[in-house]
Amino acid sequence: MVATKDETGPEPVHVVTMRCADLSTPVAGAIVSRCHTCEEPVWLSPSTVREAPNPRTVICLPCARPLTVKDKIKPDPLTEGQRLEIARETGLHGDALDRAIDSVVKHLTSPAANAPGRNAPLPG
């Protein structure tokens, strides 16, 4: 999954990905990378490695959430390769696949379950 700020510029694209701890069985050929923010091991799928724009910042789902909510980073539509990968892994197609992807995007951009704490603004 790919998220970018809603503006053009040299800013790296945020590649949002699952932590290894949260996904024991990644897509075939996935490689391990590290979250730019928390340094947890994360998965990079082959299509992400191949198709995600550069420069890019790899960030895990939990770290991406406060960013997407606070800074209004908007997830980019998935590439065709990423959709195919998800379809292959989940067995979902067409509308069912769109709904599954939509629910992840909503989860990413909804402030409802945003945990306060280390991403709270500093006083002063």
Binding span for Zn ion by CB under 5 A among 2-10, 35-43, 87-95, 112-120? 35-43
Q: Smaller CB distance to Zn ion: residue 32 or 38?
A: 38
Q: Smaller CB distance to Zn ion: residue 42 or 105?
A: 42
Pick from 3, 30, 60, 73 the residue near Zn ion by CB under 5 A.
60
> Buried b / exposed e across 29-51, counting CB within 10 Å, b at 16+?
ebeebebbbeeeebbbbbbbeee
Q: Interface residues for Zn ion in 63-122 (CB under 5 A)? A: 63
Question: Does the footprint of Zn ion cover residue 38 (CB under 5 A)?
Answer: yes
Pick from 4, 14, 30, 37 the residue near Zn ion by CB under 5 A.
37
Q: Smaller CB distance to Zn ion: residue 92 or 104?
A: 104
Residues 52 and 74: their CA atoms lie apart, in Å, by: 15
Give start and end residues of each alpha helix (H) in 12-74.
46-51, 61-70
Question: Does the footprint of Zn ion cover residue 21 (CB under 5 A)?
Answer: no
Residue 83 vs residues 3, 110, 113: alpha-carbon distances, Å: 15, 22, 26
Locate 89 and state its tokens. 């892994």
Tell the smallest beta-carbon distance from residue 25 to Zn ion (Å): 20
Locate 54 and state its tokens. 């550069």
Chain length of the chain: 124
Q: Which residues bind Zn ion (CB under 5 A)?
A: 35, 37-38, 60, 63
